[in-house]
Chain A
Amino acid sequence: MKADIQIVNVYPDLLGTYGDRGNSIILAKRLSWRGVKSQIIDICFDQPLPKDAQIYCLGGGEDVAQVSAAKQLSESSNFDYAIKQGAVLLAVCAGFQIIGGSFPDLNGSACKGIGILDANTFKNSSKRSSRAVGEVVADPSAGLGLATLIGFENHSGLTRLGNRTTPLGSVRKGVGNGYAKLEGAIDGHVVGTYLHGPVLARNPTLADMLLSWVVDDPLPELDDSEIDQLRAHIRN
């Protein structure tokens, strides 16, 4: 018998500012509706992360919590091991910044990220628009098989991708990474995005892309008509 797929919410007590938990709920339900068993595991700040889970979700957080989470995560050899073994990582907003080489703290000084992704984040110091807040629409990068990415952003970071990293998409509306009209990043099974909180709620194809990496068989179609209605409503 196959073991349940384990979906880990990494430090929901630090990185879970705005609905981030939704992503693990969505992944678990989309598995369950296809007859695949899964388990959501919340690992709080003072608990050790498992090294053998298949999916890890990192959410958004406020500045102080973000620095604490980055420090704790960089000391977790289990997490490092899991990602190197090809586990799936979805990193949203502050989580996206943490997994790069560096990110700014509350005062704008550079903090060391955990370096999973070839990307660095800087503070947006432009006086005119220091914070990117609003709806985002992005065309997904070719070859990913994703539908148009739709979400909400709320951040003050500018993230520059390195040569090894592919963007998740290019921004049609909104700010995204803040460089070259790009949004998010993808490298192997690691996905980072500024579409914050429950990004998978509006983007079922992104959810299924992550799931296709952990389920051997092709994923049966689901009835996403209600989500299509929501997507149409938002884009109008």
Chain B
Amino acid sequence: MLNGKRMRLWRMKVAIWMGLGFAKTTKALGLGQGEQLGGRVCLYVYPMAIHDLAKGKKTALISGTNGKTTTTSLLRAALALPAISNENGSGQINVISNTGGANLPSGITTALFSAHAEDSFCVFEVDESYLGEVARAVLPKVIVLLNLSRDQLDRVSEVKMLAEKWKTALELECLANVHLVVNADDPMVVWAVGNRGGGELVTWVGGGATWSADATTCPNCGGYIRRDTSNSWFCECDLKQPEYDWWLEDNGSFCVEKNNKDKIPILLDLPGSFNRSNALMATVAATFFGIKKEDAFEAMRNVTEVAGRYKKVKFSRGNITFRLRLLLAKNPAGWCEIFDILDPSSPVVVMAINAKIADGQDTSWLWDVPFEIIGKRYVVSSGERGWDLGVRLKYAQVEHKVVTDLSDALSHAVDTAIQRTESRGGKQCIKMDYVANYTAFQSLQKVMSSDKSYSKVLRKVRPL
């Protein structure tokens, strides 16, 4: 007769074995990466697997509407530094992470399959709705709370409901000793954290907020949230912006800490002020793992793309070289951030919108995005819902054409860019941005990785 402990161990082994099997089969059949299915099977056979696998590991969880995947990648880069190798100075610490973006309990379980060493660091992004469930299971060292804004309202809770879920989770006894790294600029997030433990284990970060339309009424009293001239927010009740422990200065070029006023420059390969905010949040989290802030920022400089985002694809036609940059924007807050980094010299932008379940099936959010500021650029509107975007652009009076097929859209963009670029003779480089929401972005990656589609896109174009 097996005793309880051995029984549990066996059940876990069988669960992992089955999970790995399903994950590999899914991948082999070309049905996806198998990250979700493997974990699902494993958790079905042994629901405690996620808890047991994470036990003893030092884990950081990152959640919020926008920036999860990027912040996870940045923190992963910082934690993978040789500088924090084991105590005897040998070797690099293994960092386990769900950098592919599978951020439900199942995806995190699959990532944990490869965490063999007891001393592994783990960095997981967590879907906002599952933060409580995952935190209770993995008992993290640090939780990073980025922001909460409108996203996929047809299938995800409204913002206030999510904040309430976080609040309930963060009050759990088993999470009382977890360090929280919190964006103090987002009233919803600050309210969810509350006065937890008298604030001792909370680090407030000026993490920025390009989107404030979802925090106009106070989640505490229903009153009106006001902002003063320095953009600090407050309500008539007790809820107000906490004093920062860390913040950015000079338009995000430097990081400053309350207890040590040295200005540390932030140099990233990733574009945009929102990514400097993500880097700041990741750095603060890294300090809880014994990393120096200077070292963390240095490590983050080497992150040049995140799950295919910000990747630059080069190809040529005749004397003209194209540099196509791939960008992801899933919701109004994300689009506002992307507008900031669109290449000003680019004559053409491709934008692709799908409305599959993973994107949210409601495209109303397009009307929350200020497409008017695109100005004189020509937009190729693509994706399954290219017509929805087309009508939005029509009313924004942005010159555009709807080409729903992604390959055809890129082809059209290349042709138009050549027509609209003044030929200067000799070699020339045209920069183009491709912005897509979630599944449209995945489709583009497929197009780019398939030789047949790639040549269809570029026709007489030669990849470099």
Interface residues of A (CB under 8 A from B): 13-14, 16-22, 25-26, 29, 45-46, 62-65, 67-68, 133-135, 152, 154, 196-198, 201-202, 226-227, 229-230, 233-234
Q: List 27 A-B contacts (CB under 8 A).
A: A13-B213, A13-B217, A14-B216, A17-B153, A18-B150, A20-B367, A21-B368, A22-B367, A29-B395, A45-B216, A62-B159, A64-B160, A65-B216, A68-B217, A68-B222, A133-B155, A134-B154, A135-B361, A152-B154, A152-B364, A197-B362, A198-B364, A226-B390, A227-B391, A229-B390, A230-B390, A233-B387
- Residues on the B chain within 8 Å of A64, using CB: 160, 217, 219, 222
Cα of A196 to Cα of B395 in the assembled complex, Å:
18
Q: A154-B153, A197-B364, A230-B387 are in contact. Are A17 and B222 (CB under 8 A)?
A: no
Cα of A21 to Cα of B396 in the assembled complex, Å:
13
Is B366 located at the chain interface by the 8 A CB criterion? yes
A211 to nearest B CB, angstroms? 14
A20 to nearest B CB, angstroms? 8
Is B420 located at the chain interface by the 8 A CB criterion? no
Q: Is the CB of A17 within 8 A of B158?
A: yes
Cα of A29 to Cα of B394 in the assembled complex, Å:
10
- Residues on the B chain within 8 Å of A65, using CB: 216-217, 222
Is B315 located at the chain interface by the 8 A CB criterion? no
Q: Is the CB of B155 within 8 A of A62?
A: no
- Residues on the B chain within 8 Å of A152, using CB: 154, 361-364
Q: A18-B153, A29-B395 are in contact. Are A67 and B402 (CB under 8 A)?
A: no
- Residues on the B chain within 8 Å of A226, using CB: 387, 390-391, 394, 402
Q: Which 9 A-B pairs have the closest CB atoms?
A: A22-B367, A197-B364, A19-B367, A19-B364, A13-B216, A230-B387, A198-B367, A18-B364, A62-B158
Task: Please give the number of chain B residues whose Cβ is less than 8 angstroms from any Cβ of chain A in the complex.
Answer: 31
Q: Is the CB of A62 within 8 A of B160?
A: yes
CB-contact partner of B395 in A16, A67, A201, under 8 A: A201
B441 to nearest A CB, angstroms? 21
Q: Is the CB of B362 within 8 A of A18?
A: yes
8 additional contacts, CB 8 Å, given A65-B216, A230-B387?
A: A19-B367, A29-B397, A45-B216, A64-B217, A64-B219, A135-B361, A152-B361, A229-B402
Chain A: which residue is nearest B153 at the CB level?
A: A18
Is B185 located at the chain interface by the 8 A CB criterion? no
Chain A: which residue is nearest B215 at the CB level?
A: A13
Cα of A134 to Cα of B161 in the assembled complex, Å:
20
Q: A68-B222, A154-B154, A230-B390 are in contact. Are A14 and B217 (CB under 8 A)?
A: yes
- Residues on the A chain within 8 Å of B394, using CB: 226-227
Q: Is the CB of B217 within 8 A of A229?
A: no
Cα of A217 to Cα of B402 in the assembled complex, Å:
33
